[in-house]
Chain A
Amino acid sequence: MAEPMGFFTDTSVCIGCKACEVACKAWNQLPARNGGKVPLTGQSYDNTVELSGIQWRHVKFIEQFSPDRSSGRWLMMSDVCKHCVQAGCLEVCPTGAIIRTEFDTVVIQSDVCNGCRACIAACPFGVIDINPETNTAMKCTLCYDRMQAGMVPACAQACPTHSIQFGPISELRQHAEARLAQLQAQGVSQARLYGHDESILGGLNSFYLLLDEPEVYGLPSNPQLPSRNVAPSAGLSAAGAVALGVLGLVGLRKQRMDKLAAEAREQQEGDGSHAG
């Protein structure tokens, strides 16, 4: 297996230009939303809104302003599939359409997926969606085709500020820790890394440097695998099935005993009348 590869996204230098979104769309030949007739959201400067089956990169604008707009801040983050080391989508996929590649990334094979959408419900980050053109689940492939040819993923190639960095995970972690130390030395005390170590789903192969709590960026603080519920849930159900079986048997036995008692009573009464 090749060395694990991935993205380190430093949100502190993202300028929200959305070049990554455009490069991703162009390379992966993803169609425009609504045939290109996209209305403005009217409530944000972000008009591409969300990750979807035809938008595998999305630059989030977190716009925090006071009501009179006298103060505020912008946070920007280029969001993408996290290529989790322990991936919920891969775990639940019943068809084997979702695979782990030799680069430790997670890819959906469109020719195998049958659109059951279990992966959408399983992803703790809300990344996966159905592509309306293929009717299959789709998301970032970390440009698997480009990586196989030794190329840098399109988004990282296009990023003008090096907010999106691509490379071996071990190197990216060193860059991330150095950058974090630099920011903290400059007094940016809220800076933190997200998904760089094994504490989140065994590690995220697309991890982040954030300038606030993960929730501010729409990221869960403690994402988990969907399989955590299988054993307790199945155990309770199995116990319930046994209890129902016992309940049914007790009822049947009671019915039989009542019938036998009634028959015995009738016989006794019959014997009594004969004797009389």
Chain B
Amino acid sequence: MPDSFFTASPEWRWWIVFYFFVGGIAGGAFAIAALLRLFGREVDRPLSRLGYYIAFPGSIISGILLIADLKRPERFWHMLIQSETFAPAFKWWSPISVGSWGLLLFGLFSFLAFVGGLAEVGILPRGLQALVQGGLGAVVNVLGGISGFFLAGYTGVLLSTTNRPLWSDTVWLGLLFLLSGFSTGAALLILLSWRQNLPALAWLKELDTWVLGLELVVLIVLLATVGMAVLRPVLFNAWGVLLVLGVVLVGILVPGLLHYRPLLGRLTVPGAALLVLVGGFVLRVVMLLSSEAA
């Protein structure tokens, strides 16, 4: 029996599933928004603003979900500040520690971009649009984009940095979650903007198709490298069926096909985006709960 089966479950369940999903979308959406803002054209700004509008609420929801999962939620600040010395609590070798700081930084940059985005459309004072334009805007977008990529991917690294079945038996979870976060972030952007006929939508759809392909490849590599001794008890059951149907078929292959053939008519674009979101959610459910059940 593999060594990972002698361990106990941390019982990370639905709060964490939803956090991984929302955090991935928020991080992915900001990374895409930052790419568009830094290297796109002026006509791409509405789509990048939409990314900011997704990212900041996503970071708030992420924080709430994480705190709700703690057994002592009133001590959430112990993640960041040592309770006795009030010095910063930071361990670079512990993904849960780095992730707490990463989420805080992502929250900060996504908030600045959110404010800048609202200023651009005149809801907040125009002067604040400097937060997403010019030199300051570039800094916010670069740092926010990096922390967005981090937020989308570190959750998989966190799972691998345990001794639990499946999670610790692979080093590919971080990359898989990063790709999934990016594709679900893109999918939500498409879903919220498809009626507006924005010029960057074609770019986003093509990008999402590529990312879905990469996600499938990484998922196959992950499963191939884990080994049968782990796969048999963890995924050769209903969880495995859910992975194949919910993630591979519904979340990757069907939306990939829809990107090339408009089988749903006018609803093809939002339909494909919705399926990508469903697949991204099911991926978190299976990866988290199948190990917890082992």
Contact = CB atoms under 8 A, between A and B. Distances in A.
A237 interface: yes
A241 B177 CA distance: 11
A92 interface: yes
B174 interface: yes
A242 to B, nearest CB: 9
Interface in A95-123: 95-97, 111-118, 120-123
A112 B207 contact: no
B161 A233 contact: yes
Given A88-B163, A252-B203, A240 B175 contact: yes
Contacts of B94: 91-94, 118, 227
- Number of contact residues on A: which range applies? 35 or more
Interface residues of B, number: 67
Interface string B152-179: 0110110011111001100111110011
Contact of B210 (A91, A221, A230, A247): A247
B100 interface: yes
A256 interface: yes
Contacts, number: 198
B6 A220 contact: yes
Contact of B3 (A222, A230, A249): A222
A24 B106 CA distance: 45
Contact of A244 (B150, B157, B171, B211): B211
A247 B171 CA distance: 23
Contact of B174 (A93, A127, A223, A237): A237
Given A224-B163, A237-B154, 19 more contacts: A94-B79, A94-B100, A95-B75, A95-B79, A95-B89, A96-B78, A114-B71, A117-B11, A117-B71, A135-B71, A136-B71, A220-B6, A221-B3, A226-B162, A229-B161, A240-B218, A241-B178, A244-B31, A255-B200
Interface of B: 1, 3, 6-12, 31-32, 35-36, 39-41, 69-73, 75-76, 78-79, 82-84, 89, 91, 93-97, 100, 149-150, 153-154, 156-157, 160-164, 167-168, 171-175, 178-179, 182, 199-200, 202-203, 206-207, 210-211, 214, 218
